[in-house]
Chains A and B, each alone.
Chain A
Amino acid sequence: MTENLSSLSDDRIAYLEGLVRQGRTAAAIFSQFTQQDVDRIVKAMVLAGLEQAQYLARLAIEETRLGLLEDKVLKNMVATEFVYDYVRDKPSVGVIREFPERGLVEVADPIGLIFSVTPITNPTATVLFKCIMAIKTRNAVVFAPHPKAWRCCREAMRIMYETAVKHGAPEGVFTCVEEPTIPDNVYLMHHKDVRLIDATGGPGAVKAAYGSGKPALGVGPGNTPVYLEKTAQLDMAVVDIITSKTFDNGTICASEQTVVIDDEIYDTVLQKFADLGAHICNEKETAVLGRAVIDPETGAMQPMAVGQKATDIARACGLRVKPDTKLLIAPIQGVGRDYPLSVEKLFPVLAVYRTRSVDEALRVCVDVNHLGGRGHTAVIFSRDDEIIRKFSDVIDAGRIIVNSPGSIGALGGVYNDMVPTFSFGCGTGGGNSTTDNVNLYHYLNIKRVARRTPAHMWFRVPNQIYFNLHAVENLRQFPSRSTVIVTNPHLEQMGLVDIVRRAIPAETPVRVLSIPDAEPELKVIVEGVAALNLHKADQIIALGGGSVIDAAKIMKLKYLSPEVDPEELAAPFLDIRKRVVRYPAGNGTQVRLIAVSTTSGTGSEVTPFAVMIDKERGRKVTLVDYSLSPDVAIVDPQFVMSMPRKLTADTGIDCLTHALEAGVSILASPFTDSNAMQAIRMAFKYLPIAFDHPENEEARSMMHNAACIAALAFSNASVGVNHALAHAFGAHFGVSHGRANALMLPHVLAYNASVPTKFMPSPNQRAYVADKKYAMVADILGLGGDTVAGKVRNLVRSTEELLDRLEIPRSIADLGISEEEFGRAVPDLVKIAFDDPSWLSNPRMPLMSELSELFWSAWRGRSPANAAAEPVAAMEGLRV
């Protein structure tokens, strides 16, 4: 770059600086314009461009000596009328698009000053096109046309500029470098006030644009392969190819370069070309032509041929052709440097290749495509959709034109619905930043205004829940051809299975599958599925606690979808609606799962969760999906009347923890709150009674209901950090789930009620409300307190009193776990707890250090009640 710039005189630099200053000022002034302003100016410019289309075409021909006057007129008209048709109704100032249902608004901002390089092949049309785009988007442009086309480009720009300014555009909005040189371009490309480089032209200009380090739209050369496949409409194809390849003497870089023709139609096609004015070269003529129009050293086009008529090229090469020859067709046998005519030829010389198969055709097209034309344009003529699809897959082109002319097709808006353009983005294959037809959106900074959108929430529960004493009698209403009761030996011995059997219609064949009383292993599931298959079960009754019901849920899943791998379904996720794995929809077979719970804690009879042990892989597998939820839940207290006191306490605290965590969860909703609050109220009232008086039917019934109601809440709002801690601790030290929850609970209440170190991101939360919701719980329980902090303290204290009443150890140390032993375990417990998805809905995002501190608080077991909520009081005035 330094070398290039050293050739610029001070005067030249001052001149270029003047252009930039004008453009920068104009761009700043332009930023104040309205949509109406720019639309008014654009329309006037388009009309002026149309008016002067022939004049500018003539100037272009005179200066460049390339192309055909008639076609250049058409190009100028496309660049104005067709481009206007595309942009006229498109907003480009301020709000340009709104998506109210997504809370998104797109706002357009101008880019500022654009430095634009324009080509020799389409000089005036490109300038007209870029001027219209710039005004539509409120940008200013410094043009640097090709040195051999700058006069006609300057004139095109002048017409646009004067019309624009006359209709209100800022002075200096367009300027043009007089007699531009490469050092001029380099200087301007690196100028700090140039915001975007739009380089339409040869590879050198495009490479320089990208090399500047500035945002750039660089669009470069092509080498368009055409596959003329045997199913094509041949007459149409031949006319289209001639129309396209001879348009403006082949100067459009999207025009056809090599036509690969199926063997079956090759001779016919060539005859049709000849009939319509093409000269088919023989082998010798092809060799002569190749040597003449392609530089044997560089493999590039000879400038003398570019944009010239076929007859003039033939004459220059010494070929004898008819005076009305439109096109020279040169058969080639391969692609690459040994076949000079297989490269891009911006003149009416077309290579053709005879192919024996579709595979060969595609291979040759890819070879042509990769010989300097990657990312640009390709053409196929075919009526076989599968071949068109294959062609589209393998060809690297921003535009794949089907059954229409390449050059005019690629311009857009004539033969297809692509965006009209005079700049073809060639994607990364062509070293460009886009594959698009460059259009007004590339001249805009589009800002996205994203409004907060609350996530859609849900409340999903089983279809039917039957509760209160003898609710099991409702089994009579469910007809079944074959029922399997999944239970455990202990419950069978207690006679609970018999109670269920009596409630099933007598004619229903019933089998009992007794499984171990523990979290189910994969082996148990497999055996269960085998039993279901053997008996062709259409109804599964899970009678038991969480383990049995979970086992039945997974058995049903595997029974209906044997191919699923539970391990894979257990993949971690952040949001159930966006997770990677999808649960199977089933095979259409209807199998009813009825859950009859025999404990009052897990609520598994209504939850979408199931836990199993994969012993082979040595891990717990937690499945979560609403398809796992039982179809029917039976909440009959007769099945829990004989629960031992310790189990009553542990499962009851599990129920309370579910409700307290669901209540402050970031997924909590009015639907889950109503269940959570009711379950908390019932647990505080009836759990001590059920513990002290196990025979109290009302207390048992209410606690059984409370567990189910809490489960309805946490099935939809999930749980929190208490469960993450309890899962890790309980598994490591073999402590029951409910008891592990109890050891953590007061500490977690205090933790969640204080000011978080880190908040959990949640669109549904408009303030931190965990402490207020705890205060609401305290109010519901009638615990008293004048402030939020005071109420939270009372809730923590009451929870501790409840735990004492239930004779639950109040510290991990009380379980006989020494400080040393616990200290050794804590680092791993923290890691495991942090990997537990339970806390993802916790109101506070726990730091690992905080998890560690919570574990130690639980080990010490000191009362957190006094410490609870002090920080909340300090924050009180800040809350909404």
Chain B
Amino acid sequence: MTPPTLIFAVGNESRGDDALAPLLLRRLDAWLKKEARSADFELIEDFQLQVEHAMDMAGRKMVLFIDAGMDTPIPYAFYRAQAGDARTPYSHALTPEAVLAVYPQIYQNAPPPAFILCIRGEQFELGSPLSPAADSHLDSAMDFMKQLLQETEAMAWEIQAQQQATGDTIKHEACRTQ
């Protein structure tokens, strides 16, 4: 059976704080096993998002994209992702919004509700370890995830996202408009 919730973690562990999402995914994996809830979640890690990731979303109740961000509010931002598209002239990577836009190309219907957890990173140099600040943001993000995953309905996640937006509109918009 397809686990109802899919969590993508996007990042390169050899690039400093770009490791935030893979590291959070590993913590989540351990926590879900401890809580005996692994069957309800599929965790996928990759360097970049690509078109075929849309196919991983089929049959899910909801999807979460976790990534590190450079100008993201401290310690993280959580918000609803909407389908959209932007080609990046000098990159092959897709945004979560672009992956959502690919979904109906394959399945002729709307993708499942999707959300983004963007964790603030500070430096992304090759070979660098996780920065102390990012390490702290990782702890905060893990605390948030434990709380978020208590909810198993997209509507509850939507409320969480709206609460973040209401609590700190400026921060939320800063992440959304990038």
Pairing of A with B? no
User: Footprint of B on A, CB under 8 Å?
Assistant: none
User: Footprint of A on B, CB under 8 Å?
Assistant: none
